[in-house]
Chain A
Amino acid sequence: MTDKVLMCGNEAMAESAIQAGCDAYFGYPITPQNEVSAYMSKRMAEEKRVFIQSESELAAINMVFGASATGKRSMTSSSSPGISLMQEGISYLAAAELPCVIVNVMRGGPGLGNIAPSQGDYFQSVKGGGHGDYHCIVFGPSGVQEFVDIVPLAFDLADKYRIPAIILADGIIGQMMEPVTIKKKPRVKLPLKDWALTGADGRKQNIVRSLWLADGAVEQHNYDLQAKYRQIEKKEVLCEQYKVDDADIVLVAYGISARIARGAIERARELGIKAGLIRPITLWPFPSEQISKTADKLPVFLVVEMSCGQMVEDVRLAVSGKAPVVFWGRPGGGIPTVEQVFEKIQELTIKPKKK
């Protein structure tokens, strides 16, 4: 599939996973990502790969755990409440250092919330979510093509670092249709999965575990995990900078909020307001360095999210008091308009008249 096709984000992402060599998909129905499992049920059968509609999200993430433990590429997708149920499994995956891809097409919360798009699961995704000290690599695609392009990268980085990768999309990215190209990329060279459970035929037993009872063993395991996380922070940050160099106001937004912010920036520029955008593509590792360097130029930062303000905390940490950081957002399924963001930009950049 190398031509441009018009597809909704959920289906395009699913096809991209198939092209990326996903061996098994496990999922439980939840809106707004049901297109993924419907698409996978058909296509995985065609490809003679594994598709299971599980009895719960708990089961789905543990099926992922099982397939991954044998060295297979596996994934699941869900939406916010379902991802909450998976947190136990994600903690175990992180602890056992098993690679996998988890797609969260976020909806309004907390609780059952609604089925409208949201970005309310940022904290849950980048700060851990489950118990214990761990991270997952987290991506925040801002359109259908990027949703597609991130999938093979997510699988590769998951395999490379033996870590769960989360793609944090939202109801808009999942549902909207855009023209996309889904290319089968050549597989990059990755470390051999010599840890995988394949049957100990002619070799020593392999064990995949997360329990270490010996004195100091879990402490050491944590230090080892942290060393890996520092490597990922050093090497794998992805972020887009748009008209930041001369900007008096720098918007920071990810996912669909970044698309909306960009519209507002265009309008501001037309009126001579020097606005720019930093768009984190990886939410963990976070582009703290890029934001910190920009902060040295002393712009105003405006963080736009479809939440009550979650990523803004990481922006504040990165800016570290060097420049003002303002938040504006809408939670619970409210979608910011270009007009609203533009008004906020104007409010923060209009110079007060001299008396």
Chain B
Amino acid sequence: MMQKVFTRSKTLKDCPTHYCPGCGHGIAHRLIAEVIDELGIQGKTIGIAPVGCAVLAYDYFDVDMVEVAHGRAPAVATGMKRTNPDKIIFSYQGDGDLAAIGTAEIIHAAHRAEQLTVVFINNAVFGMTGGQMAPTTMLGQITATTPQGRQADGQGYPLQVSELLSILPGAIYIERCGLNNPPNIRKAKAALKHAFELQMNNAKGLSLVELLSPCPTYWRLTPPDAMLWIQNEMTKVFPLGRLKG
């Protein structure tokens, strides 16, 4: 008799995504869905989709979901979790959403020690709007709005939000992982699982997993080269590992 050893996560819908070839969102979605499956929380999880490439995340995740204004996910999540402490709330935000327009919301959600799980996708660029500079864009990186490459003088340095958040007492678990090779992807899944488990165990505070995620389209790289760029360039500014908890 044949034994089934691999199957589609039941928290992921059976449909193709709209993401570009080589994009990291598909991997991140898959990991989150597997974690939700393994923890058996599909029926009590509410997800929050950002404004950005993952705005249609509810087309892929088979859980109750809301789509919110740009950057406001942590505030929406706060309203949900406080009124529904028995539900598992996660937000899925990109670097424009979380590190630019929504900086106040994420910092204050962590500051209030909201019991939330935040998935932060850092691909160093605004994807959906056409590859503009994000706060996390690397120095020298060419984007639609940094045609000469990002310069510290006038455009600032790449913003390390996870490091910023990790000094807040209300942030109980912060880890940065890379979606660039199988070992790192396995670590990312373990980190996501831990972030969900903390909320399930009623741990008092915010958990955030930052995922360095490839954007071959706006990095102007092939998918394999994009994976290498994470390893060779991004991790210099965004070192992998557990920052808190």
Contacts and interface: CB of A to CB of B under 8 A. Distances in A.
Q: Do A and B come from one complex?
A: yes
Interface of A: 23-24, 26, 50, 52, 54-56, 58-60, 62-70, 72, 74, 88-89, 92, 96, 197-202, 205-211, 213
Contact of A200 (B62, B66, B77, B84): B62
Contacts of B141: none
B55 A23 contact: no
Q: Is the interface of A mostly helix, strand, loop or mixed?
A: mixed
Contacts of B68: 62, 65-66, 92
A52 B44 contact: no
B215 interface: no
Given A89-B69, A205-B62, A205-B64, A200 B82 contact: no
Interface in B56-109: 56, 58, 62-69, 72, 75-84, 87, 104-105, 108
B42 interface: yes
B82 A24 contact: yes
Interface of B: 42-46, 49, 55-56, 58, 62-69, 72, 75-84, 87, 104-105, 108, 111-112
A69 B80 contact: yes
A92 B71 CA distance: 13
Contact of B79 (A63, A200, A201): A63
B67 A210 contact: yes
A84 to B, nearest CB: 15
B72 A58 contact: yes
B28 to A, nearest CB: 19
Contact of A67 (B45, B56, B69, B83): B83
A198 B62 CA distance: 13
Given A92-B69, A209-B58, A66 B75 contact: yes
Contacts of A208: 65-67
Contact of B78 (A63, A72, A92, A213): A63
7 contacts: A54-B108, A59-B78, A70-B87, A96-B66, A199-B87, A207-B66, A211-B55
Contacts of B66: 66, 69, 96, 197, 207-209
Contacts of B64: 197-200, 205-207
A337 B148 CA distance: 64
A68 B83 CA distance: 9
Contacts of B58: 205, 207, 209
A59 B82 CA distance: 14
Residue in B56, B78, B81, B111 with the greatest tally of chain A CB atoms within 10 Å: B78
Contacts of A205: 58, 62-65
B104 A58 contact: yes
Given A67-B79, A70-B46, A70-B84, A59 B65 contact: no
A199 B45 contact: yes
**What 10 A-B pairs are tightest by C-beta distance, nearest first?**
A66-B79, A201-B43, A63-B79, A62-B75, A66-B76, A55-B108, A67-B79, A199-B44, A62-B72, A59-B75
Contact of A62 (B46, B76, B112): B76
Contacts of A202: 43
A56 to B, nearest CB: 6
B156 to A, nearest CB: 22
Contacts of A55: 104-105, 108, 111
B79 A64 contact: yes
Contacts of A206: 64-65
A66 B69 contact: no
Contact of B82 (A52, A96, A201): A52
Contacts of A74: 79, 83
Nearest to B44: A199
A68 B80 CA distance: 8
